[in-house]
Structure 1
Amino acid sequence: MKTISNTSDLAEFCAEAARHDYVTVDTEFLRERTYYSKLCLVQLAYRGAKGEEHAVLVDPLVKDLSLEPLYDLFRDEGVVKVFHAARQDLEIFYVDAGVIPTPLFDTQVAAMVCGYGDQVGYETLVRKIAKASLDKSSRFTDWSRRPLTDAQSSYALADVTHLRDIYEVLSAELAKSGRKKWVSEEMDVLNDPATYRIDPQDAWLRVKTRTNSGRFLAIVRELAQFRENHAQSNNVPRNRVFKDDALIELASTKPQTEKDLSRSRLLLREARKGAIADGILTAVKAGLAVPGDELPKPDRSREKLQVNPAIADMLRVLLKAKADQEGVAQKLIASAQDLDVMAAGGRDLAALKGWRKEVFGKDALKLCEGRVALAVDGAKVVTVSR
């Protein structure tokens, strides 16, 4: 197996890969101790013989190695970039260089479209499509340590060598079924830079609270924004600044001084003084100073929904019937929450747009409006016009 540790070798490999119609890509990274993922390894392979031929490991931890040749390959629209469950890999490349590989193909999404199940894992596809097995012993190793063991290298390369077979089979199935456009629609989200941006001002929306007081939420908002900014600027996990339960406690107790912080039950010891303590006290003060007419309001739109349980149940039956008929994972079409919103009259849903509308949405709307009924035809559930 070949490990690339200099820019010229990477450029040579990428130039050769650019002569082919696709390249498979995977990464190994660490994120336990940092806010941003630390890229530790990149695996690449292009069409060729089975095994490790035409596949390489790229060591981004080598001091003088530049990944620019790889990014040039990512920008080459004549080469499909194939990943499995690409979200975290793409975030790394976007944060590092502002690059999103295009055109993009995610085999996890494609497998869901082709009926392999909900969020099917790579190991399952290797077994079902490539007719091989994976040695999982290196899955949770420290990828930042050097040198890599032979087991680590073999494990890492397998993530892109088998991916070639998986891509070719899934791509052929999509072409046969006419569903390539379905996968392309799903790739639009992964190709959108907004998918990988985290705005500290919106960080509070991820904090689960049971209190709907505007003043309380204002303090939560300021604390969450400070935590996100501090975590990003210091490249530490947000939970290393303070955890959500401590944030909720702080929003409730509204500390004014470091002595107040010392009474916290949940705040980490290192957060009770210094820059974090100053940030907490400033955030609490800012939250208390928000004018009454500018206080954040909880999203109660879902609370106001009057879900008709009978319609929701019929939509679930319809969804299963359509998913089985089309051989598509149910969760890829619509979630249980989507069905509840639809049963309550909501219409601004992905399930009612694009390919989902054709497969499920049109009949779902007709069902909600009483224009079709459900009936049993042998072992199948079908719609009947009224």
Structure 2
Amino acid sequence: MKYLKQYKNLSKEIYVLFFGRIVTSMGSLIWPIMTLILKNKLGYSATTIATIDMVLAIFQFPIVILGGKLADSVSRKKIIVCCDMVTVICYFISGLIPLSFVSVALFYIAGLFAAVEGPSYDALIADLSDSDNREQAYSLQYLGMNLGLVLAPTLGGLLFEHYLWLAFLITSVATFSSTLLIILFIKKLSVEKKNVSEYEEKREGAKLLEILKERKILLLYIAASGFCNLVYSQFNYLLPLHMEHLYDAKGATIFGLLTSTNAIVVVIGTPLITTLLANIIDVRKFLIGEALIVIGLVSFNFFGRWIPVYFVLMTVFTIGEIFCTIASSPYMTRRVPSTHWGRVNSTINIFCMAITSLGNILIGKLFDTYGFSSAWLFVAVVGVIAIMLILLLNVFDRASFPLLYKKADE
């Protein structure tokens, strides 16, 4: 229980968002198996799947920029609610029509609107938390998301062969339920900040480029985030392709179990890691987390059909994911003026999408032409680059933001 006490002094609205995350994730049956839907149900190659993702990313670039600007200028609650309602409709229609490229297109349209609301959602959590409890606020949202995901991917895998339409409808209902919670119970959109560092003080009228020029190390953080995201994306791209290659349609069930394992480890590990490592500065957690993610994912290449080992590797990967999750958003919000959180968030997202889309096309071609070992080797190289960039970030961050290290050094 002592590990849960860290969450007790957060604002009421943070708890509402937490329960909303649980409900949404309980119904998130499609995203974890989308790659398998495209590969097994519609017969697309790995390269084609990556190309579809790249086209989506190209459409998302202006959408994400818009989402960042809206997050810094319009009610964040209104943006979230409006975008959620569009996604609900898209999911619902997808469940009513026969599975085809049209239903997949509708689902990707829902993804576009989810991209619009992303910066608003992240910024709203920062608005509703103080600098001292921001890691706990983001940690709780992450915990809620994975509480819902404990059974969802497994259920999605079980529905995959014969009842995929039902998975779309469940996703629609769950998203609507979460949106209803936000409409009814999110009244206050910010809390009084007791501890605001000079780095996150408002800079009304300043352009995004001015902020990035003043704080150049943020460019290094953005670059590191892009390569890290490419590695992490293999959890939902190369790993399910790997499972499908080894086990055909049954790969969806195995991948669903692995995803549920991921969620279980998050639920158990997030409160522990957030508490025990509270005194370690965010940028160092980022480094540890990325190293574990790379080791956990790339090691799947070496264990063939040793299914029990899969769950060990997934545990290593998930611990790394926890480290990165509780470090990344707090890192950004503590070093960027609150008036620019949305725009910086959207800039990070755009770079991550660009790197991931291009990288996945190359990974898909390697997979289709040479097999999964070559694809995993490329992922390992990208992972080493990501770790080196985060090492540089660790070296130069103190000089750029010395005030943030006073507490860490005490």
TM surpasses 0.5: no
| Relative contact order, higher structure (CA 8 A, sep 6+) | 2
Greater strand share, structure number: 1
TM-score if structure 2 supplies the norm length?
0.28
Greater helix share, structure number: 2
